[in-house]
Amino acid sequence: MFTKSRVLFIALPCLMAVALLFVLFGLRDQNAPPDLFQQKLDVRLELRDGETGRVVTYYPDGITRKHSIADSDDGKQSQFWYREDDTLKEAVTYGVEVDGKRPLLRRARIDTDGKTFVLDEEYQADGTIARRLVLKDPDTSVESLFFEGLSAVLRQETTISRANDARTWKLVEQFEYRADGSKVTHTQVEDEVKTTRIFDQDERLVRIKVHTPKKWTYTETDYRSEDGSVSRKLVQDNDSTTITFIRSNGSKEESWEWFGPAGKSGVHINYFNDSEERTFHQWWSFIDEELRLNSADVYDLKIDSIARSYYVNAYDERGPVGAIEIERIYHTDKGNNGHHSINNYRHDGTLSSHTEYSSGSDIILQEEHSAEENIRMTDADQRWFSHRELEEWPTQVVPYTPAED
């Protein structure tokens, strides 16, 4: 039988061991990392740049977002809904709150990939639709834009597709409209060839534009609205641009040729008769954002049954208007061996001198004239120093890459 003292002697060390284990395990539990998942709440407040606050509600796993409300610094508010795989499902944006109400600015529904819009709508200040994007099929979307201040009046409709490249949406077709509903343009893209048709107020075709990047070409064809005949053609490649004006009977009337950046370089202008024979040619330089005449060729097609032309050199030190020196050289069927003459004009347009030469360099006539005589160029001569005013200057649609020498 154990005595009382012996029992105490055995029990005391056991109690001390239990107490030590309690202390040791207690300290270990206090020093262990906290379980963060147990501390996360289902609803949390986040702070982001540009926002006064964002309230996010999570699914029961505490990780996946379910819904969030973001208040922007500009007073707008956006709400987002998420699927259980954390992809964005739906989003809406409201305007600044007025009298306890927020106007709807935008709403969108997103496909299961979390990126593709199934529906995306934007609204104007009065609540009418401004823009609508609808996914017609997995690879085709149609975007509609509406006139501001008009109730759902269509301004533009664009079809885009990613059928050939899942990563890139590309233009397929586009319509543009006037506020009265009449069609302005119709654009189609097929095999990377972009064709745009332009219409007048009565929806009569007035221009067709075709851009073929693979072939480095761009063309425009203009039509007369009254009869549909072709009035103008533009052809452009990587190093030249040509505009041809066409008479109503179909014959070529005039051509402009740029052998450099379109509208930003010198241009050759040719004029033709009804038989499309060239009668006149001008070469204009592009200096200080304007055209200045370098030279001109005037052709007399039938003189003494021999086709001849005469050449005009025009020099203008001050630009399109100023002192002009004209040299006429008559070309014969045997070459440039005809007589020629030089006229000098003052800045006021009056003739100052007239000199004629033989087929060589001998002077056969020389005249001086005063300003009081008021001898001026005839109307026929003056057209050598002018050109038609283009309604629009061509632009360089095809990247300009001059040919190497």
- What CA–CA distance (Å, rounded) separates 80 from 110? 11
- HSE (CB half, 13 Å, CA atoms) of 319? 6
- What CA–CA distance (Å, rounded) separates 288 from 270? 23
Q: Could you give the C-alpha distances from 342 to 14, 238, 300, 324, 328, in angstroms and in order?
A: 133, 39, 18, 10, 6
What proportion of the chain, given as a percentage, has pLDDT over 70? 79
To 5 degrees, how large is the angle CA 311–CA 312–CA 315?
150
Residue pLDDT, tens place only, 212-262: 999 999 999 999 999 999 999 999 999 999 999 999 999 999 999 999 898
Backbone angles phi, psi at 240, to 5 degrees: -155, 160
Higher pLDDT, 379 or 390: 390
List, in sequence order, every residue forming a beta bridge with 189; answer none if it has no partner.
Answer: 194
- What CA–CA distance (Å, rounded) separates 91 from 68? 10
User: Which own/partner contact pairs does 338-343 have at CB distance under 8 Å and 24+ positions apart?
Assistant: 338/308, 339/364, 340/310, 341/365
- What CA–CA distance (Å, rounded) separates 171 from 162? 9
Q: Is the pTM of this model over 0.85?
A: no
DSSP state letter for 226: T
Residue pLDDT, tens place only, 148-157: 988 889 999 9
Residue pLDDT, tens place only, 96-106: 999 989 999 99
Q: DSSP characters for 58-111?
A: E-TTSSSEEEEEEEETTS-EEEEEE-TTS-EEEEEEE---BTTB--EEEEEEE-
CA torsion angle 343 347 348 352 (round to 10): -30
- What CA–CA distance (Å, rounded) separates 252 from 330? 26
- For the residues 23-45, what does the mean pLDDT come to? 55
Go through the chain and tell me how many residues it has: 405
pLDDT-derived band at 310 (thresholds 50, 70, 90) equals low
Strands (E), 288-397: 290-303, 306-316, 324-331, 340-345, 351-357, 363-368
To 5 degrees, how large is the angle CA 365–CA 370–CA 371?
135
Residue pLDDT, tens place only, 155-185: 999 999 998 888 899 999 999 999 999 999 9
Higher pLDDT, 45 or 295: 45
- CB-CB contact of 126 with 103 (8 Å): no
User: Would you list the domain boundaries of the chain?
Assistant: 42-115, 121-215, 224-405
